[in-house]
Amino acid sequence: MREDPAGSLHMPVYETVAYEFGSSYHLEQAFLGRRPDHIYSRISNPTVEHFEQKIKNVTGAFAVMAVSSGMAAISNLALALLTSGDNFITSRNLFGNTYSLFTSTFRPFNLEPRFIDPGNPEEIDSAINEKTRFIFLESITNPQLEVADIGRISGITKKYNIPLIIDSTLTPPCLFKASDFGVDLEVISSTKFISGGATSTGGLIIDYGRFDWNRSETMEELGQQFGPHALIIKLRREFYRNLGACLSPHNAWLQSVGLETLELRALKACSNCLDLARFLSTCPEVDQVNYPGLEGAAYYELCNKQFRKPGAVMTFRLKSKEFCFSFMDNLEIIRRATNLNDNRTLVIHPASTIFSEYSSRKKAELKVPDNMVRLSAGIEDVDDLITDIKQAFAKMKN
């Protein structure tokens, strides 16, 4: 880990674009990649590098790249692995913008998503062919809260020699040790839990260095030249540099500070989420609570096996859309906002917001009914949150 030259305990924010060299020879060597110097902040920056190294220490990864957002992490990684005519396997239940990236943005480039049900990993066998370049799944889908059996799926991807990419935004490194479950590549929106309370956008590409790029048709040349470094070199020297989705030094600093309290905050948010799920289950106004941490929930056992805690997001159903709106509008402590894993507890009505561009049929297919509220638990005093929910329901009776 490169430390700050002045010994500052927090790596300071290097708000700079260019770096000066003592001689033309050194500048040449840096451009040839023979010196690990910073040249230009779109390519690397000391504050961003420091954040990357902290993530590397926390995850035990082989290499980490920090980028400007979770979507930048997904798009940079996917584009580095695909060429026109290729396909990849994924789930229908994806974060909305990821679904839109895969089905709309990628279409003119002839990059084909093939959808399977992660609950039925056998479907991978029939979806795969010689043009399949990776499998991309989310650890817990949102808002369906379905959980992929990652260990089992990584067994299948190994058989076919295809890298497994997991978006583990809902279960960051203190909740899920991706490397223990055979994950090759992990992407995380650090905007969520890691940023330390929704301060900044950021994304991470985490490479566990176990995939043999020599055996991948599109990466073979780089694989022979650079071994396990092949993908990260392709990203750093080409895709990341040319697409320009670099993380700002200021955001890297905020997220680096956020990382230091990640575990404390995440464990508190998960414990609040479980308490709220248990409480909501007892409310006569609530039809159905979906939280994989509730005993008897569909993915309860799998979550226990895979995660330290099953995240801090839950959904519940009320009588109708109008009832959901009225409930949300009556809340006083819980906020109405579209984010996850903030320090504050947030609610949203997914069908009329995140999924509003989709038809009713599509919403039904994506399991986003009109009477569902999503709640992302924060780190407040849980009794205050329960009191807030009680008073919101009480107001609706009058």
Ligand X SMILES: *Cc1c(COP(=O)(O)O)cnc(C)c1O
**CB closer to ligand X out of 229 and 335:** 335
Query: Is residue 293 within 8 Å of residue 310, measured between CB atoms?
Result: yes
Kindly state whether residue 327 participates in binding ligand X, applying the rule CB under 6 A. Answer: no
Helical pair 249-260 and 262-281, crossing angle rounded to 10 deg: 70
> Which residue, chain included where needed, has tokens 């940023």?
195
Within 8 A by CB and 6+ apart from 364, the residues are none
**CB closer to ligand X out of 174 and 318:** 174
Minimum CB–partner distance for residue 3 and ligand X (Å): 28
Q: Looking at 55, 63, 67, 71, which residue binds ligand X (CB under 6 A)?
A: 71
> Which residue, chain included where needed, has tokens 């990628």?
106
Give 161-165's long-range contacts (Cβ < 8 A, gap of 24+).
161/212, 161/215, 161/216, 162/128, 162/132, 162/133, 162/134, 162/135, 163/81, 163/133, 163/134, 163/135, 163/211, 163/216, 164/134, 164/135, 164/137, 165/77, 165/134, 165/135, 165/136, 165/137
Site for ligand X in 192-251 (CB under 6 A): 192, 201, 203
Minimum CB–partner distance for residue 6 and ligand X (Å): 31
**Cα distance between residue 302 and residue 294, in whole Å:** 12
Q: Looking at 41, 63, 70, 248, which residue binds ligand X (CB under 6 A)?
A: 70
**CB closer to ligand X out of 302 and 340:** 340
Kindly state whether residue 93 participates in binding ligand X, applying the rule CB under 6 A. Answer: no
**CB closer to ligand X out of 216 and 376:** 376
Q: Which of these ranges, 114-122, 152-160, 185-193, 255-263, lies near ligand X under the rule CB under 6 A?
A: 185-193
CA 341 to chain centre: 11
Q: Looking at 69, 171, 290, 345, which residue binds ligand X (CB under 6 A)?
A: 69
What single string gives the DSSP state of each residue in 115-174? Answer: EE-TT-TTHHHHH--TTEEEEEEESB-TTT--B--HHHHHHHHHHHT--EEEE-TTS-TT
Kindly state whether residue 342 participates in binding ligand X, applying the rule CB under 6 A. Answer: no
**CB closer to ligand X out of 191 and 343:** 191
Q: Where are the beta strands (DSSP E) in 216-366?
A: 288-290, 313-317, 335-336, 346-348
**CB closer to ligand X out of 219 and 265:** 265
Minimum CB–partner distance for residue 23 and ligand X (Å): 40
Site for ligand X in 145-174 (CB under 6 A): 167, 169-170
Q: Which of these ranges, 6-14, 67-75, 210-218, 290-298, lies near ligand X under the rule CB under 6 A?
A: 67-75
Minimum CB–partner distance for residue 333 and ligand X (Å): 23
**CB closer to ligand X out of 87 and 341:** 341
Residues at the site binding ligand X, with contacts judged by CB under 6 A: 69-71, 95, 98, 138, 142, 167, 169-170, 189, 191-192, 201, 203, 340
